[in-house]
Amino acid sequence: MHDSTECLEDAAGNVCRTLEGMVATLHATGAYRVLSRLDLPEGPCCTGGDVDTLVGLAIDLETSGLDVERHSIVECSMRRFRFDRRGAITAIGRPYTWLEDPGSPLDPAISALTGLSDADLVGQRMDDATALTLMRSAHVRVAYNASFDRRFIERRLPTCAGMAWACGLQDVDWRARGFDGSGRALGWILAQCGFFHGAHRAGNDVDALIAILRHETVEGRTAMAELMETACRPGWRFRAIGAHFDVKGRLKERGYRWDALEAVWCREVPDHARDDESAWLESAVYAPACRPRSDGPAIEQITWFTRYA
């Protein structure tokens, strides 16, 4: 039986006997994508970056459920990273991960998803002092689904309310970057960057988030640069309170998303689009023929200090 490494030849007919050669040959065919295991070592990771850097904090949580009022954090991971004004991530800090006992048995579905058991969590607790220090040390806190993670963090650590947050999912236009828009899961975005990571655990997802923020377009612009530009921009949140059920299709087509916690359709628009959005709602949602149950939407100005809260 021949070694499998001797069965792969490059375009010139040369036999590839190293993993690197096999990967290069497979890529060159255009018929394969080869994923590498994600490994983010601590330390500098970019040469030629600006001397002036900012601090980001990547955050991911595993929880006992989706309802912030009824469920609790069971695992919290945080990892600092430095980035320059152009969005290049220049250094990655050490990872921090804590387990926490929710005080009640885990739902079997959560155990199956995370691999965590009640025995893993009994008596465990987050290091509040270290978590607070990390939160306060960053210019921006980044989660892949910030509206989820931020709410759980601020409920668990109330003094963290009012800090700047950004979202790896909402603040980067992955479709415009050439990613397949049919999948929005973090693991799928990571795979399209050429990597795979371990089981669904907070520490793995924190590393995956940092990895995708390093993604560059052909012009060399990182996802981190786009995220910061989007997150820093003020906007207006429209909540279509009292909208009739029959107009939900219009709202979805317009880009509104259902907020299950507030039970309302919501959309954020940039500052220059406020008047256009108000006019569209007036004609498409709040006109008398649309049978609204209120006079108009709730509108509030938001910044990265209040967004996703």
For 150-208, the pLDDT digits (tens) are 999 999 999 999 999 999 999 999 999 999 866 689 999 999 999 999 877 889 999 99
CATH superfamily of 43-232: Ribonuclease H-like superfamily/Ribonuclease H (3.30.420.10)
Q: What is the pTM of this model?
A: 0.85
Q: Which two tokens stand for residue 247?
A: 């107009």
Q: What is the pLDDT of residues 10-36, one digit of tens each?
A: 555 555 567 777 777 887 888 888 899
Give me 256's structure tokens. 């509104």
Q: Where in the chain is the domain with CATH 3.30.70?
A: 235-302
Q: Among 296, 162, 303, 140, which residue's Cα sits nearest to residue 235?
A: 303
Coil, helix or strand at residue 156: helix
Q: State the DSSP code for 211.
A: H
* Range with lowest mean pLDDT among 6-15, 29-38, 255-264: 6-15
CA distances 155 to 54, 63, 152, 168, Å, are: 26, 13, 5, 21
Tokens 């709410």: give the residue. Answer: 151
CA angle 46, 47, 52 (to 5 degrees): 85
Comma-separated ranges of CATH 3.30.420.10 domains in the chain = 43-232
Per CATH, the number for 235-302 is: 3.30.70
**Which residues of 17-146 form beta strands (DSSP E)?**
36-37, 43-44, 53-63, 73-84, 89-99, 140-143
